[in-house]
Amino acid sequence: MATNDEDLKKRAKALKLNGLLAHWAEVSEAQWVRELIEWEEVARQQRSLDRRVKQARLGRFKPLCDYDWNWPRRCDRGTIENLMSLEFMAEKANVILIGPNGVGKTMIALNIAHQALIRGSQVVCTTAGSLLNELASIDSASGLKRRINYYAKPQLLLIDEVGYLSYGTRHADLLFELLNQRYEKQSTIVTTNRPFSEWTEVFPNAACVTSLVDRLMHHAEIVGIEGDSFRLREAMERQEKRGKKSTKAKGDTHEKPE
């Protein structure tokens, strides 16, 4: 009983329930005390999650249970499901999802990020374009340092859509600086539609590309996905449904009364 009482009191202290603690000797054995502490813990955990989700800029995404594993020609389901355990974060490793447009790279990455948020980690999600253009637009050295530190700090950083646009040398240098700060300290997820051999086209004339890729790939889980676009398939399915409805409507119009 004493052990349970001490544990309960410790939890009350962690919650800073000072009014309750001031009358602990009078109320500690009441059943409602344990319930009150449990309610407060759950409420604070939810508020903490809501705050971190908002700060992460996760956006809307489909849950991984909706992913059609049979659609891609190549997709290592076991590896992706293992990534959801977040073991790579304990090892300060990175995750790189490589594949053509529309195969679900972003969906998978956001599900991993969401799992990290649920587990209590700090997460920031951004696109390569948004990140690099933001950093490149900062004029002052002190302001740039603060912003790079902002992206270097979270336990998980998701950089989406590397390779969809081309960037200048300054952008490449800034990305290298950021990844160098996170190297072997925090985990980064990158989604890209380009193999690393083509990153010299993403960052043409940038001398740091080889070093940038080296930092990213070292201690990284690389997942390749091959297949046609989910979005294209869905668009074709919608078009087919509209075509059937149109054909049916025309058939109903031409029906003759008995």
| Domain-wise residue ranges, the chain | 2-41, 64-232
Residues 6 or more apart whose Cβ sits within 8 Å of residue 191: 96, 97, 98, 105, 106, 109, 158, 159, 160, 161, 162
* For residue 76, pLDDT beyond 70: yes
β-bridge partners, 192: 98, 162
Dig out the tokens for 210 from the structure.
Answer: 């080889």
Q: Measured between alpha carbons, how far is residue 12 from residues 30, 48, 128 in Å?
A: 14, 17, 44
Residues belonging to the chain: 258
pLDDT tens, 179-228?
Answer: 999 999 999 999 999 999 999 999 998 999 999 999 999 999 999 999 98
Dig out the tokens for 70 from the structure.
Answer: 């049979």
pLDDT band at 130 (very low <50, low <70, confident <90, very high): very high
Q: What is the CA radius of gyration of the chain?
A: 25
Query: What is the pTM for the complete model shown?
Result: 0.77
Q: What are φ and ψ of residue 246, in 5° steps?
A: -65, -40
Query: Within 153-229, where are the H helices?
Result: 169-182, 199-202, 209-217
Q: Which CATH class is domain 64-232?
A: alpha beta
Residue pair 164/202 in contact by the 8 Å Cβ criterion: no
* For residue 99, pLDDT beyond 60: yes
pLDDT of the residue at 171:
96
Alpha carbons 141 and 147: distance in angstroms, whole number: 10
Which of these ranges, 85-89, 97-101, 104-108, 242-246, has the smallest mean pLDDT?
242-246
β-bridge partners, 94: 220
Locus of tokens 């948004």: 130
